[in-house]
Amino acid sequence: METSVDRRHFMGYFAGVGLGSTLFPGVLWAKISAGADITVETIASAEEVAGIHFEAAERELMLDGLKQQEQRIEALHKIPLSNSVSPAIVFDPLPPGKKITPEPRRPMVRSKVAPRAVPADDELAFLPVTELSELLRRKRVTSVQLTQMYLARLKKYDPVLKCVISLTEDRALRQAHAADAEIARGNYRGPLHGIPWGAKDLLAVRGYKTTWGAGPFKEQVIDADATVVQRLDAAGAVLVAKLTLGELAQGDIWFGATTKNPWKVDQGSSGSSAGPASATAAGLVGFAIGSETLGSISSPSTRCGATGLRPTFGRVPRTGAMALSWSMDKLGPLCRSVEDCAIVLDAIYGPDGQDNSVIPAGYHWNAQLSPKSLRVGFVKSAFDSPQIDPKDATRTLHATKQFDDAALDVFKRIGINLIPVELPDLQYDAMRIILTAEAAAAFDDLTRSNRDKELVQQGKFDWPNTFRTSRFIPAVDYVNANRLRSIAIQKWDDLMRTVDVIVTPTGAANLSQLVATNLTGHPAVILPNGFRDDGTPVSLTFLGGLFEESKLLAVARAYQDATGFHLKHPVVPLTPPAHP
């Protein structure tokens, strides 16, 4: 009797030769499970599910080549490949002819922060980095004080929010004491010095578990610090916790629980940067680092009312981070304000000599850059889309329309003239096979070893099944999807030559910006844009040109300062909901 491992081996084999796309038809399954050789009959059966047709003579010619390919794939399967090993092919988001000139690092130009008295902890915990850093610099609070406060809040509220995988208490207190000693000696490293933060638990931290939110890896310890962790250590930031992510960066469900939205704790926080968004919004950390492949900063920032920055692909090194899609993964901050995101990006960007996808593009945050000097576009069709489907009164097309319409009025009030634009119309959804093919490769061993059964989520669209079905993506189609991606990159570059920043509703119906910009590598800022009747936040999205985060952040900050939605904070109950 064949095992599920045997079956998956052969499924992978036919995916590799480009003959399969879904489940085996019966005749092919019968012959393979019986241990028969590849024959013209099995090739014909595979054609049925691949949507192609060969003549009988062509099938005869293919036999020896397929058997040779089977041997090569069997040889590949004998070689262990760690998740940290990236492909030799490196994705570049720059279109042909577009050059990035390296620039020397320049000091940030930050906004001025008025001196203030130290508030009570319930207010202090929610201050943005811009204000916490000034209290530390002026020695009105200590890093130890902030660290102990945030550790206490993490312990107090995590039983409800389920946003923590590991506290890094000993490490944090050592860092906090060192920060206070340095600041007392006049050695102030900058605005992150002494600020407690949380890391999405796909970032390796030496001496602590790095679970990737998944049961098969819940005891995994990686003996290294991710580059982002090293850089925040160098900036003097204090790591207080490793925060939850949906298992293997999908959703808000991990091996221990479902991470909750602090505004409505009977609701998940969305994902996959579930813990970073929940903890930041709830005032449990000063800021957090998350990641996005296809919405994992955008979605939880929207749900939890955090301010998230998804940097340009190739801006921040991913060394020491779990790989899901080598050509789409991006690391970025989740904070309580746009300027906080700008400050954190300054500490983590740039090549590290290990992640070959990182481009040495300059970045300079200048809080004095006037957004009125920039060309700001808005996706007119997305704002104009009706709230209710005119063909079906029970179907909502644009659930946040009242908030998005109000946003247009804010831009008028602050003197920013919006330019109507439309997004390039391409088959973005078809290109999603790039992500799923790469994800299946990243976790090939998990599928072939049958350990995917240890994952909590086992539905039709969850990773175990997605990894299996993705093994039937023909290599030819994966390459062609990337060729279409090249067309998308060029069309988006053409669009971004007409404007500096684009404003768009985050989730209007049929809006393709999220998939499109994750494929093209463009940066985005997602910020709170009001609250529904039930108290939960909604968001607005700002898109920028490749490696143009400074302009993007300037416009987003101007809007945020004019609205103030980020200044409202949730009140988290101390007991879990009756029906989680």
Digits of tens for pLDDT over the chain (580 positions)?
333 333 333 333 333 333 333 333 333 333 443 455 889 998 898 888 677 899 999 999 999 998 898 888 889 999 999 999 999 999 999 999 999 999 999 999 999 999 999 999 999 999 999 999 999 999 999 999 999 999 999 999 999 999 999 999 999 999 999 999 999 999 999 999 999 999 999 999 999 999 999 999 999 999 999 999 999 999 999 999 999 999 999 999 999 999 999 999 999 999 999 999 999 999 999 999 999 999 999 999 999 999 999 999 999 999 999 999 999 999 999 999 999 999 999 999 999 999 999 999 999 999 999 999 999 999 999 999 899 888 898 888 899 999 999 999 999 999 999 999 999 999 999 999 999 999 999 999 999 999 999 999 999 999 999 999 998 888 999 999 999 999 999 999 999 999 999 999 998 655 689 999 999 999 999 999 999 999 999 999 999 999 999 999 999 999 999 999 999 999 999 998 776 5
Angle at Cα 141 formed by Cα 137 and Cα 146, nearest 5°?
110
Cβ neighbours of 341 (radius 10 Å): 32
Structure tokens at 273: 């940067």
Cβ neighbours of 285 (radius 10 Å): 31
Average pLDDT, the chain: 92
Longest Cα–Cα distance of the chain, Å, equals 85
CA–CA dist 481, 474 (Å, integer): 11
pLDDT of residue 397: 86
Q: What is the pLDDT of residues 340-377, one digit of tens each?
A: 999 999 999 999 999 999 999 999 999 999 999 999 99
CA–CA dist 100, 93 (Å, integer): 11
Using alpha carbons, select from 495, 388, 383, 480 the residue that is nearest to residue 433: 480
CA–CA dist 283, 275 (Å, integer): 12
pTM for this structure?
Answer: 0.92
Structure tokens at 62: 């293919």
**Is 483 buried (19+), middle (13-18) or exposed (0-12) by CB count in 10 A?**
exposed
Cβ neighbours of 318 (radius 10 Å): 26
pLDDT of residue 494: 98
Q: Name the residue with tokens 């955090």.
A: 306
* Pair 237, 211: CB distance under 8 Å: no
Q: What is the pLDDT of residues 414-439, one digit of tens each?
A: 999 999 999 999 999 999 999 999 99
Q: In one letter, which amino acid is 504?
A: T
Report domain extents, the chain: 1-79
* Pair 337, 328: CB distance under 8 Å: no
* Pair 283, 277: CB distance under 8 Å: no
Q: Decide: helix, strand or coil at residue 171.
A: helix
Exposure b/e, 181-208, CB count within 10 A at least 16 = b: ebbeeeebebbbbbbbbbbbbbbbbeeb
Torsion, CA 156, CA 161, CA 164, CA 170, rounded to 10:
-10
Q: In one letter, which amino acid is 577?
A: P
